[in-house]
């Protein structure tokens, strides 16, 4: 079993906050996307300090991009990590990207892969794509085009455009047998996920 909370527990964490807090979260996120960063900060910071993972994530985004606050990768890393440790997949993926790029931390491909894997297992297409890139380029892992194709395939299946293009590119570097193997792995991964959703009793054994 992974050391992070499951999606079900994460939903329970969010639902445990009172309606006023949830309304504040929505207001903060809406304000962020509308460019009203002062309002976003006012709404999100108190919720992040109360350990609401989605608020922690968005506060991390604001520090990472310097929106409404001075850009500060260290603070972004702090908030991403808090949200990631509660199982918030987007925070896991962004934390992985910071390690991959060396933003706020020394570049560490092993840590990047760790966080990408955690998010990819939650079926986040951005993380699946980034994991595919790591395998294609051999960053932190032995170069493995079969694994790269598998992760690109999974992300592309969820509408990730860059993954779709990457799958085409990597396919031209592979033998027909390798492509068949990668497709088989992707199919088995999806089937396992579907089984986990349908049969909670599997969570202690087959399910990541």
Tens-place pLDDT, residues 108-156: 999 999 999 999 999 999 999 999 999 999 999 999 999 999 999 999 9
Q: Which among 36, 8, 39 has a CA at the least distance from the CA of 24?
A: 39
pLDDT at 14: 47
pLDDT at 170: 98
**Is domain 1-119 in CATH 1.10.10.10, yes or no?**
no
DSSP 200: G
The pLDDT tens digits for 8-50 are 434 444 445 577 678 889 999 999 999 999 999 999 999 999 9
Q: Which among 67, 3, 77 has a CA at the least distance from the CA of 29?
A: 67
Which of 13-17, 57-61, 158-162 has the weakest average pLDDT?
A: 13-17
The owner of tokens 């932190």 is: 140
Residue 1 binned pLDDT confidence (cut-offs 50, 70, 90): very low
Q: Which residues contact 3 (CB under 8 A, 6 or more apart)?
A: none
pLDDT at 195: 82
Token couple for 147: 């694994």
The rounded Cα 40 to chain-centroid distance in angstroms is 22
DSSP 141: S
- Which alpha helices (DSSP H) does the chain contain, by range? 7-15, 19-33, 37-49, 53-65, 73-84, 89-101, 109-121, 125-137, 145-156, 161-171, 176-198
Residue 203 binned pLDDT confidence (cut-offs 50, 70, 90): very low
pLDDT reading at 205 higher than 50: no
CA-to-CA distance for 178 and 143, rounded, in angstroms?
14
The pLDDT tens digits for 61-79 are 999 999 999 999 999 999 9
Torsion sign across C-alpha atoms 82, 86, 92, 96? positive
Which of 13-17, 98-102, 160-164 has the weakest average pLDDT?
A: 13-17
The owner of tokens 């934390």 is: 95
Q: Where in the chain is the domain with CATH 1.25.40.10?
A: 1-119
Token couple for 7: 């999606």
The rounded Cα 158 to chain-centroid distance in angstroms is 14
pLDDT at 196: 80
Q: Which among 44, 69, 42, 74 has a CA at the least distance from the CA of 56?
A: 44
For residues 50 and 20, is the Cβ–Cβ distance under 8 A? no
pLDDT at 16: 52
């Amino acid at each position: 079993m992974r050391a992070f909370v499951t999606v079900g527990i994460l939903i329970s964490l969010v639902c445990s906050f009172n309606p006023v807090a949830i309304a504040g979260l929505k207001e903060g996120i809406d304000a962020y996307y509308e460019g009203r960063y002062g309002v976003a900060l006012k709404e999100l910071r108190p919720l992040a300090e109360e350990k609401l993972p989605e608020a922690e994530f968005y506060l991390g985004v604001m520090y990472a991009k310097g929106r409404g606050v001075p850009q500060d990768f260290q603070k972004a890393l702090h908030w991403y990590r808090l949200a990631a440790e509660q199982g918030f997949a987007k925070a896991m993926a962004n934390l992985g990207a910071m390690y991959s790029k060396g933003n706020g931390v020394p570049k560490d491909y092993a840590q990047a892969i760790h966080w990408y894997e955690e998010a990819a297992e939650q079926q986040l297409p951005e993380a699946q794509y980034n994991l595919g890139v790591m395998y294609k380029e051999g960053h932190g892992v032995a170069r493995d085009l079969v694994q790269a194709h598998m992760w690109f395939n999974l992300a592309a299946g969820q509408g990730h455009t860059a993954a779709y293009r990457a799958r085409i590119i990597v396919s031209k570097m592979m033998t027909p047998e390798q492509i068949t193997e990668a497709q088989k792995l992707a199919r088995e991964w999806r089937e396992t996920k579907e089984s986990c959703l349908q049969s909670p009793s599997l969570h202690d054994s087959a399910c990541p």
